[in-house]
């Protein structure tokens, strides 16, 4: 899993050909802490999908994509937003969320 910030967002997400799943989170966020291990497990089990995390306190990207609540998961396909989910989801829901956009 890659930590993405303003400096590497273009390269890691927008220029990437394929699916990128972004977990927008904050260290102080309780729901983010419960979703973190789920997202990490998903990342470890799905090598065909690029999984990245963006700390909303350390990046301006969340403003560009109108992330108002965290955790928020945004799915990019070939550099374009194709879906989003706000809140904590279970792993099976995350798998379904990604698979419906493949």
Residue 1: pLDDT over 90: no
CA–CA gap between residue 13 and residue 64 (Å, rounded) = 14
What integer best gives the mean pLDDT of the chain? 96
Nearest CA-CA partner of 90 in 38, 43, 48, 54: 38
Q: pLDDT band at residue 40, thresholds of 50, 70 and 90?
A: very high
Across the range 3-11, mean pLDDT stands at 96
Give the chain's domains with CATH numbers. Answer: 2-99 (3.40.30.10)
Q: Could you report the per-residue pLDDT of 72-91, keeping only the tens digit for each?
A: 999 999 999 999 999 999 99
The catalytic position among 2, 26, 29, 86 is 29
79: left (phi over 0), alpha (psi -120 to 50) or beta: left
29 is catalytic: yes
Q: pLDDT band at residue 16, thresholds of 50, 70 and 90?
A: very high
The answer to whether the bond into 71 is cis (omega within 30° of 0) is yes
pLDDT number for residue 90: 96
The catalytic position among 13, 21, 32, 56 is 32
Q: pLDDT band at residue 102, thresholds of 50, 70 and 90?
A: confident
Q: Which two tokens stand for residue 75?
A: 């799915």
Q: What does pTM read for this prediction?
A: 0.95
β 80-86/72-77 pair status: antiparallel
């Amino acid at each position: 899993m890659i930590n993405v910030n303003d400096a590497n967002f273009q390269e890691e997400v927008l220029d990437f050909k394929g699916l990128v799943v972004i977990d927008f989170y904050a260290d102080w966020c309780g729901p983010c802490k419960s979703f973190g291990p789920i997202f990490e497990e998903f990342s470890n089990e799905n090598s065909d999908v690029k999984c990245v995390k963006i700390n909303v306190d350390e990046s301006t990207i969340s403003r560009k994509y109108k992330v108002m609540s965290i955790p928020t998961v945004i799915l990019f396909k070939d550099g374009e937003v194709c879906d989003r989910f706000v809140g904590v989801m279970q792993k099976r829901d995350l798998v379904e969320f990604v698979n419906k956009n493949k």
